[in-house]
Amino acid sequence: MTTSMESAPEVQQLAQWLTERVASCLEIPAEQVKPDVKLVEYGLESVYALALCGDVEHELGIAVEPTLAWDYPTIDSLVALLIEKTAEAA
């Protein structure tokens, strides 16, 4: 089945990468970061949110707003946005 969305493995890989980056910023095990829990509930502060933006821009080669983690507060919502943005950039 072909859709405009990226393939499931690519979505899963992006979700895993984001989860690992967030866990690293928060200094917690990646297994504790749930895809549907708001990142602020884990204690994500603005300095780490900005660092995450930089990581996303560097890794994916796309520009994102500095408010990314506040506008898309969960891993699931971040993945959906980033899949859309990378598809637009392709």
Give strand ranges (E) for the chain.
none
Per-residue confidence of the chain (90 residues) as pLDDT tens digits?
334 445 677 899 999 999 999 999 899 999 999 999 999 999 999 999 999 999 999 999 999 999 999 999 999 999 999 999 988 887
User: Could you tell me the pTM of the whole model?
Assistant: 0.85
Residue-range domains of the chain with CATH: 8-89 (1.10.1200.10)
d(CA 10, CA 39): 22
Q: Is the dihedral of CA 34, 35, 37, 43 positive or negative?
A: positive
CA 21 to chain centre: 8
